[in-house]
């Protein structure tokens, strides 16, 4: 889910001189939404995987998380002038974000000194709020506020620094 991650299949068509060349493409086409729904449905029917206990709460978690991650990508594109440079910066930010999301160390097992960072970083706040929604709880206000704050700050800064050349 790293917004700054580069998809090599997509990047090969980009102009090497600009990070957002080809940005008019739709990232999630309707046929891909159907595939996601089919995967979730088949996973539930065939493997007995649980679906989100609260779909509305899950949507309330996913939307600000997605906007926050995409806004980080916009900020990177606004600050870095080439696609290659944007890809490097995105990768540098992606792996610490995965740590704070609990990919390597579950959030509850993190030391108290850094657990608060998980709650305010976009990927950590997003994952925690989605896990809460999957379990049937509403996402925490602190997590949603952190996501909205990151999105607003990154979009504002991206608008200030981004220039079409």
Report the distance separating Cα 121 and Cα 48, nearest Å.
32
- The predicted model scores a pTM of 0.75
| Residue range 74-119, pLDDT digits in tens | 999 999 988 899 999 999 999 988 988 888 888 788 888 888 888 8
Answer yes or no: are the C-beta atoms of 99 and 105 closer than 8 Å: yes
Q: Domain-by-domain residue ranges, the chain? A: 11-161
Which residues does 63 contact at the CB level (< 8 Å), separation at least 6?
none
Residue in this structure with the two tokens 């939307």, named with its chain if needed: 63
pLDDT tens digit sequence for 10-47: 444 444 555 555 555 556 678 888 888 888 889 889 98
Alpha helices in the chain (DSSP H): 8-11, 30-47, 55-79, 83-101, 112-120, 122-134, 141-161
Rounded CA-CA distance 158/59 in Å is 25
3-state secondary structure of 92: helix
Interval 39-74: pLDDT, tens: 888 988 998 888 888 889 999 999 999 999 999 999
């Amino acid at each position: 889910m790293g917004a700054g991650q580069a998809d090599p299949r997509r990047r090969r068509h980009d102009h090497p001189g600009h990070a957002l060349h080809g940005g008019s493409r739709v990232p999630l086409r309707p046929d891909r939404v159907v595939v996601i729904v089919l995967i979730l449905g088949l996973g539930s029917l065939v493997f007995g995987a649980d679906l989100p206990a609260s779909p509305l709460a899950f949507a309330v978690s996913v939307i600000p998380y997605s906007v926050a991650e995409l806004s980080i990508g916009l900020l990177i594109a606004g600050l870095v002038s080439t696609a290659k440079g944007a890809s490097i910066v995105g990768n540098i930010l992606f792996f610490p974000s995965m740590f704070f999301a609990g990919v390597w160390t579950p959030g509850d097992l993190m030391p108290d000194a850094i657990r608060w960072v998980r709650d305010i970083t976009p990927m950590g706040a997003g994952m925690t709020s989605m896990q809460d929604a999957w379990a049937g709880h509403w996402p925490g206000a602190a997590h949603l506020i952190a996501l909205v704050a990151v999105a607003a700050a990154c979009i504002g800064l991206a608008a200030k620094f981004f220039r079409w050349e």
